[in-house]
Chains A and B, each alone.
Chain A
Amino acid sequence: MGVKKVGYEPTWIDKLYIPAILKGMAITFSHLFKKRYTVQYPEEKWIPPAGHRGAIRLNRDEKGRVKCVGCEMCSTACPAKCITVVPGVAPWDDREKYPVRFEIDMLRCILCGMCEEACPEDAIELTVIYDFAGYSREDLIWDKERLLKNFDITVDGKYFERSKEETGL
């Protein structure tokens, strides 16, 4: 069998290296004026695509009350065991129970969205918020108020237009 030599023998111009170096330098120089891909974070924010699984919110119903009926399906479904629901007798007559306490430990939450899938009332949902952080562990154990506030700042889809003071994040 004959052997076919494949490959590239450098010519004497290639062996000078200088033209190749100049070519490379032309490329790097052209990049000085190209579009920069950096997102300058606090001023500019990256907008996540639809279906992004960010921080969790508790939805309100049309009367502004918490939509949750305290069935504990979410905390049962949660693989990280980060949801604590303490149900109690509802003060309203359209349901039997409501959550007296509803806490999510965001330090343990893995943002998998299982709670959202488990919820029969569509009361718990994941939002676009990705830039939440706290100064202490307690800061990141979110209670009912905190979760309802997440609903208030994201329900109109204008979360990224709000100021830092407004969102508190």
Chain B
Amino acid sequence: MAEAGYAFIDIAVLLVKIALVLGVNLLLLALMTLAERRVAGFMQDRYGPNRVGPEGLFQPIADGVKFLFKEDVIPSHVEKVLYILAPSLVLAPALLTFAVIPFGGTLSAFGREIQLQIANLNVGLLYIFALASLTVYGLVLGGWASNSKYPLLGGLRSSAQMISYEISMGLSVIGVLMIAGSLRLNDVVAQQNTLLFGVLPNWNVFLQPLGFLIFLIAAFAETNRLPFDLPEAEPELVGGYHTEYSSMKFAMFFMGEYVALITSSALITTLYFGGWDFPYVDESALGVWGVVLSVLAFSVKTGFFLFLYLWVRWTLPRFRFDQLMNLGWKVMLPLALLNVVLTGIVMYWVV
């Protein structure tokens, strides 16, 4: 792509990649809504929805149709513009984030080296954090525009929560950046594509266990998942920021939440579990099969973290708000700082 102007084929490849990532994301999102309820059922010794299609596989379609055809109520007391804008403000950044995540190795086709990644940004990680922070606007605006007490409380909670945890999240990633020496996610993955002491895969989870733990917990808080789902805490706030929403607008809040889930799973995989790296195998030597293997490895790892989200949701109870703030500021933040210092000391002696 160094020559002046893009060739037609480059643009075509890019469009295919975008369509692929978007399509897979939306499909996975639909499956997640089903998986959530099925896994919930299994963990409570029930079946969950299993009537629509084989094993309930078409349930998301039924749900989607239902959401689309439901009456879209806009209460008379809302701030109309912000009220309508808010759901898309939740969904759009979540979808955009996936652009910089590498989901496979480098494919050689059409005489080109095709990176399986939409945009190989040199500030990839910053881009992700910037967009992830935008999600909070959707929630706060949704809560504010609804002009009613429960959504407002939910929106306020979400802003307080996300801002608190974003700091620890950002600090926990610094350890990874120090090791990789780059914000480009490709470099982070490439650095993990080797072996540690010749035995373990050189994944950041082994180099940065504390950082990983902090990042994981912060990711749960960022995506508003249990045990940190205070913004929507059903028993206290009716539904939180989406109480006044109905029909597809309501569904978009949920789509945003699930896409954020997928993206953060992919991000955890990329940052701490070697991205598309299949351990002990040199993907670049296997040609096309290496690429297939890398995509597969990435999918399996991401899938595991998606399951982890469901798993934790049906295990842990919700935090109280003061506990949440205590954990965020008094535990996570100092630990994240400690992690940065420790990484710095070790790197000073080792490298």
Q: Is A34's CB under 8 angstroms from B316's CB?
A: no
Q: Is B315's CB under 8 angstroms from A31's CB?
A: no
Taking a contact as CB atoms closer than 8 A, the residue among B39, B47, B315 that contacts A24 in the complex is B315
Q: Which of A1-55 contact B (CB under 8 A)?
A: 18, 21, 24-25, 27-29, 31-32, 34-38, 40
Q: Is A32's CB under 8 angstroms from B316's CB?
A: no
Taking a contact as CB atoms closer than 8 A, the residue among B46, B311, B312, B316 that contacts A37 in the complex is B46
A29-B45 in contact given A21-B316, A24-B316 (Cβ < 8 Å): no
A147 CB to closest chain B CB, in angstroms? 34
Q: How far is the CA of A29 from the CA of B45 in the complex (A)?
A: 11
Between A and B, how many residue pairs show CB distances below 8 Å? 33
Q: Is A36's CB under 8 angstroms from B43's CB?
A: no
Q: How far is the CA of A18 from the CA of B213 in the complex (A)?
A: 10
Q: How far is the CA of A35 from the CA of B316 in the complex (A)?
A: 22
Q: How far is the CA of A70 from the CA of B316 in the complex (A)?
A: 63
Q: Is B316's CB under 8 angstroms from A36's CB?
A: no
Q: Is A31's CB under 8 angstroms from B45's CB?
A: yes
B35 CB to closest chain A CB, in angstroms? 12
A154 CB to closest chain B CB, in angstroms? 29
Taking a contact as CB atoms closer than 8 A, the residue among A18, A28, A34, A36 that contacts B315 in the complex is A28
**A interface list, Cβ under 8 A from B:** 18, 21, 24-25, 27-29, 31-32, 34-38, 40
**B interface list, Cβ under 8 A from A:** 39, 42-47, 213, 311-312, 314-316
Q: 3 tightest CB-CB pairs across the interface, nearest first? A: A28-B315, A24-B315, A32-B42
Question: Assuming A28-B315, A32-B39, what are 16 further A-B pairs, CB within 8 angstroms?
Answer: A18-B213, A21-B315, A24-B315, A24-B316, A25-B311, A25-B312, A25-B315, A28-B314, A31-B44, A31-B45, A36-B42, A36-B46, A36-B47, A37-B46, A38-B45, A38-B46
